[in-house]
Chain A
């Protein structure tokens, strides 16, 4: 496992989320240290994806605060009052946070290579040559160096998801968010994606992983958080929680997925 420096990178404090009258997140507190892999599990509808999407502001924050690297996400605080950030400032914050989606969301009109190069060239302003070199290295790293010229529709789900990971890594983020990255994959393709994620965890990347893969949580996770009904029910060492859950709801959930 990775050795954590005990330096908090992500701090979520009192996070609430409403969709109209629907209270989805009911006060989430969570800390992720630098270099740590934080795995979040829970039944569908528990709010785990919503929580993850709040971290890079794909969902607005109804109440509470999220900070990444000491920087408040989505707001500027002036004299104790929150001011919304401009779209451009939000985009700048998102550049530090990579995200991998359940349904990959690769750009279908661009090849694997062009998908990975897109943000470095058009967000960071890197030269095409430099971005291409780096993109090919990243595709190699996820085991797809020979698929650079393929369009997403020519790749299997597992290959698409690995391209999506390479695309997020191309921005050199300090934090990676994984939103059920293997849930849309055929069972025999899940392993490839998990292996890439394991390698990434070993390289010291800070990761928040929303998943149903209990094996991954046990093997790679530094902390495990079980969410249900919009609250954190239990959180701690993954192996301990999986072996010996303290709460009835955790027990029930684990008995259904294990």
Chain B
């Protein structure tokens, strides 16, 4: 029999909470600023919301959004592929791989992306023809550089190669963050080198890699506005600038561009959320994985039978 006082419902403490006048004051100040700003949005005629409305779905603008997205996705894909390769090379036992990966990062991180874009735009001047053949020997075939590296390709190469240097460092940090024991456990199971990397190390590294890579992708979305340097003239910033110059209304067209960049960024953030949830499996995201229900049931039944016979560890079975 338990003691009487344990059977009564406890009387909950009703203490007086600490007051926070500072919170109220700061909230009032911030809300006042927000109100003034909102009021100006509605009352200041210079915003020209009518012009924003006219151009937000303009064909040139929507095409610009499309090209900006294409440049972002294509250059990020190129950068990610190169970055994985560079990060693997940096970890390699082969000193030539380690060295060339280092030099690549040094060069592409060490020069401005604007300079690199101008350079890719001028590649046909530097190398008018691309030819394959034996060095100092016979030539197998050749192409005009300008026909291969058009403005779009130059823009993607310029953005992608520059980005690969930054991403390579992010991937390297991610790979290094995985506990050494994971590599050893996989090696002890007799897994091949490549499988260890793809199935054990990289999926765990992705937890560390995805957030900064999302950051870089959003950064890339806006860096595409530099492709005028190539020159590439179809992206969102160029399209809205061209319209602004034609109409002499820079402010509403900057707002048009800003709205579209915000919309795309928001969509990218949603995508990043799902990617993070996927790679957070077992660490941040503990939703149990689906297993073959019939087999699990059979195993569970077997375990029940076994447990009913086993009494050594009652607290384990109770859990």
Asked if residues B286 and A109 are in contact (CB atoms below 8 Å), the reply is no
A118-B199, A144-B303 known; A191-B312 Cβ under 8 A:
yes
Complex CA distance for A56 and B191, rounded to whole angstroms: 13
B264 to chain A, nearest CB (A): 30
Q: Are B304 and A146 in contact (CB under 8 A)?
A: yes
CB-based contact A140/B312 at 8 Å:
no
A92 interface residue per 8 A CB criterion: yes
* Contact status A140-B303, CB under 8 Å: yes
Give the interface size class of chain B: 35 or more
Does chain B have a CB within 8 A of A149? yes
A111 touches B190 (CB 8 A): no
Of the listed stretches A9-17, A100-108, A202-210, A214-222, name the one at the interface; the rest are far from the partner chain: A100-108
Interface of B is mostly: helix
Give the residues from 106 to 139 in chain A that come closer than 8 angstroms, CB to CB, to chain B. 106-111, 113-114, 118-119, 122-123, 132-133, 136-137, 139
CB-nearest residue of chain A to B301: A145
Q: Flag the segment in A36-44, A75-83, A151-159, A249-257 that touches B.
A: A151-159
Let me know if B184 and A111 touch, CB within 8 A. no
Q: Mark A38-75, 1 if CB is under 8 A from B, else 0.
A: 00000000000000000010100000000000000000
B16 an interface residue at 8 Å Cβ cutoff? no
B190 contacts A145, C-beta separation under 8 Å: no
Q: Are A91 and B190 in contact (CB under 8 A)?
A: yes
Instruction: Determine, out of B74-82, B143-151, B227-235, B287-295, the stretch whose residues face the partner at the interface.
Output: B287-295
Contact check, A101 vs B281: say whether CB atoms are below 8 A apart.
no
CB atoms of A109 and B282 under 8 A apart: yes
The interface of chain B, by Cβ under 8 A from chain A, is 179, 181-182, 184-193, 195, 199-200, 203-204, 279, 281-283, 286, 288-292, 295-296, 298-300, 302-304, 306-307, 310, 312-313, 316
- Excluding A146-B300, A153-B283, 10 further A-B contacts by CB distance (< 8 Å) are A56-B188, A87-B193, A99-B185, A105-B182, A123-B191, A133-B295, A137-B299, A146-B299, A153-B286, A191-B312
A residues lining the B interface (CB < 8 Å): 56, 58, 87-88, 91-95, 97-99, 101, 103, 105-111, 113-114, 118-119, 122-123, 132-133, 136-137, 139-140, 143-146, 148-154, 159, 164, 167-168, 171, 191-192, 195
